[in-house]
Amino acid sequence: MRLTASRLPYRSLSLELKLNLVLFDLDNTLLTGDSDFEWAQFLISIGVLDRELFEAKNLHFYEQYKAGTLNIHEFLDFQLKPLSRHSRKQLDAWHEDFMRDKIRPMMGQAARALVEKHRAAGDVCVVITATNSFVTAPIAREFGIEHLIATEPEHRDGEFTGGVAGVPSFREGKIIRLEQWLEARDWGWASFADATFYSDSMNDLPLLEKVQHPVAVDPDDRLRQHAEQQGWPIVSLR
């Protein structure tokens, strides 16, 4: 189902002029790497996680993700449990070093320019990612993107529990989470004149097929083949 601009906009947007919705996947799309994978590797490198126990498992999950066979709940148990073992203050301090050492080098000029083009046009820009919001919120802010839809770690009294809150923002879950996000703002698909989604991964095919303008960015082999068959634009930000 593709979006149409024929229906009346929701009351929260101007009746005279509809805005455009622009969705960005993060890992291997805006970033030239995977923040999820690199966060675990970073924790291993500073001795927070045991290399022998965690590195092979981190690589295993990453390969499953690329193959399209990832069990998201098994992965989230692996990914979020370490957050529960340390205070938020300590995690935030580690994340500042993570941004400096790992993330900013993966934020290329082409990706920054693409985001700025859409921001300058007045588009509603959203990072939508399966990676948890603790890891990704500072990255979205660094790109100058106001809105983030990510997998939400459960927290209690300001500290992480190691669980996940709500629907993970993964595969079809991205559509569920996006529609919840829209509804919370009194928006809907028809509130926008146009919707674009940039992604590198076949895992994002459900949302790519939902929008008017799917764009494959440095795509994996399966997404590249599908994009070529469908006549979708294929671009590189590398």
Q: Which residues are catalytic?
A: 25, 27
The answer to whether residues 112 and 16 touch, using CB atoms and an 8 Å cutoff, is: no
The amino acid present at 112, given as its one-letter code, is R
For 46-76, b where at least 16 C-beta lie within 10 A, e where not — what string? eebbeeeebeeebeebbeebbeeebebeebb
- The Cα 213–Cα 195 span in angstroms is 6
Torsion of CA 63, 67, 70, 76, to 10 degrees: 40
Coil vs helix vs strand at 116:
helix
Q: At 118, is the secondary structure helix, strand, or coil?
A: helix
Closest by alpha carbon to 74, among 49, 55, 57, 51? 57
| Ramachandran class of 68: left when φ > 0, alpha when ψ lies in -120 to 50, beta otherwise | left
